[in-house]
Amino acid sequence: MAATRHILLTGGNSGIGFEAAVVLCRAGHRLTLLCRDRATAEAAGGRVLERAGASTPPATAVCDLADLESVRACTTALLARGTPIDTLVLNAGLQYAGASEPRRTAQGHELSFGVNHLGHVLLTHQLGPLLTAGPSPRLVVTASEVHDPTTAGGKVGAPAGLGELAGLVPGQGTTMVNGTDKFNADKAYKDSKLCNVLFAREFARRLEAGGTPYPVIAWSPGLVIPPTSTGGFWRYSRQSNELGQRLFALAARSLLRLTESVENAGALLAALAVDDAYAASGFTYHRNRVTAPGRHLFEASATSTEGQDPELARQLWEASAALVGVGADWP
């Protein structure tokens, strides 16, 4: 059985993150849930405690990943408390499928890139001291197979691709990371997941170079379709897309049997956060792939070709650090 750990988790109020939080709380691990506002945080803590049947509620804190100032305020408070973090789980994510115009973060970045990548970049940088203070730190990043254009999900629509990161040049805006494509909400999401993979890879490389390696795990949960009615992942999608989303979910879940349940995906995330089986230092990518209708295999896998590019990973790291206002030489 894994030793008790302190896990800090983003996106724990719904979907995969919520189910992982229930599993972890039930097992006796100490949780801190970061949510975008106080009402969401308090409700999430209560629901996790009720489902887990535990006696100790998870701690909660407000951290709106769509506002870098909120991230800074949250991390300042956590650093003041000084409680070491054993596992930092960067799980929160959103997609606003079908939108014709980009949405923006408080700082003006395209929303899916800003929340799924930039907010987590700043969070990880700021909380680095609390991670290294623990005896066996670990970073887990929820990516997606759609970052890879050769996978079933990655083949649908415009493929992920960051080009030369022209959209991240200061003063050029960040509507699309490659700086050349017309706005495409689905591609923006795929690109943000490719950023997750490259960020994790470069973070692990830098830890190794600095002589302080620990596990850095990126993973794909498979096709998990959360309920549209509960907000979370789909909260920014257009209402006009809801019928299409429901029909797609019906076909994928009941007819083709391609989906993974949110409960099973949450259990996988909980295992990545605490189990000794995932304690090897360095970067790994794990994919929950479909092997037959209704069957999945969770295993270590290769990322996309672009997700293996060390120079692109370095350039993304430096550009992202500049956008969130931190030095590129960390950790």
pLDDT in tens, 92-123: 999 998 899 999 999 999 999 999 999 999 99
Confidence check: pLDDT of 251 > 70: no
**Quick one: pLDDT at residue 254?**
42
Q: What is the pLDDT of residues 39-52, one digit of tens each?
A: 999 999 999 999 99
Q: What is the pLDDT confidence band of residue 151, given thresholds at 50, 70 and 90?
A: very high
Q: What is the pLDDT confidence band of residue 170, given thresholds at 50, 70 and 90?
A: confident
Segment 160-176 shows an average pLDDT of: 88
Confidence check: pLDDT of 239 > 50: no
Domain membership of residue 1 (yes or no) is no
The SS3 of residue 322 is: helix
CB 76 within 8 A of CB 63: no
Domain membership of residue 329 (yes or no) is no
Domain membership of residue 330 (yes or no) is no
How much of the chain exceeds pLDDT 90, in percent? 78
CB 116 within 8 A of CB 93: yes
What is the C-alpha to C-alpha distance for residues 52 and 24, in angstroms, rounded to an integer?
8
Residue entry with tokens 């950790």: 331
Segment 56-85 shows an average pLDDT of: 97
CB 148 within 8 A of CB 160: yes
Number of domains observed in the structure of the chain: 1
Segment 9-21 shows an average pLDDT of: 97
Residue entry with tokens 């996106």: 11
Contacts of 214 (CB under 8 A, 6+ apart): 136, 137, 138, 139, 207, 281
Between 170 and 213, whose confidence is greater? 213
Could you list the residue range(s) of the whole structural domain that residue 291 is in?
A: 6-324
Q: What is the pLDDT of residues 260-279, one digit of tens each?
A: 789 999 999 999 999 999 99
Domain membership of residue 255 (yes or no) is yes
Lowest mean pLDDT among 194-198, 227-231, 294-298: 227-231
Confidence check: pLDDT of 223 > 90: no
Domain membership of residue 200 (yes or no) is yes
What is the C-alpha to C-alpha distance for residues 165 and 154, in angstroms, rounded to an integer?
20
Q: Looking at residue 128, which CATH number applies to its domain?
A: 3.40.50.720
Domain membership of residue 248 (yes or no) is yes
**Quick one: pLDDT at residue 229?**
42
Confidence check: pLDDT of 150 > 90: yes
Q: What is the pLDDT confidence band of residue 207, given thresholds at 50, 70 and 90?
A: very high
- Mean pLDDT over the full length of the chain: 90
214 assigned to active site: no
Lowest mean pLDDT among 178-192, 211-225, 289-303: 289-303
Domain membership of residue 146 (yes or no) is yes
Domain membership of residue 48 (yes or no) is yes
**Quick one: pLDDT at residue 226?**
62
What is the C-alpha to C-alpha distance for residues 147 and 52, in angstroms, rounded to an integer?
33
Alpha helices in the chain (DSSP H): 15-26, 38-52, 68-81, 111-113, 119-132, 152-155, 185-209, 242-250, 262-274, 310-324
Confidence check: pLDDT of 133 > 80: yes
Give the type of residue at 86: D
Confidence check: pLDDT of 222 > 90: no
Residues 189, 214, 278, 285: which is the catalytic one? Answer: 189
**Quick one: pLDDT at residue 256?**
45
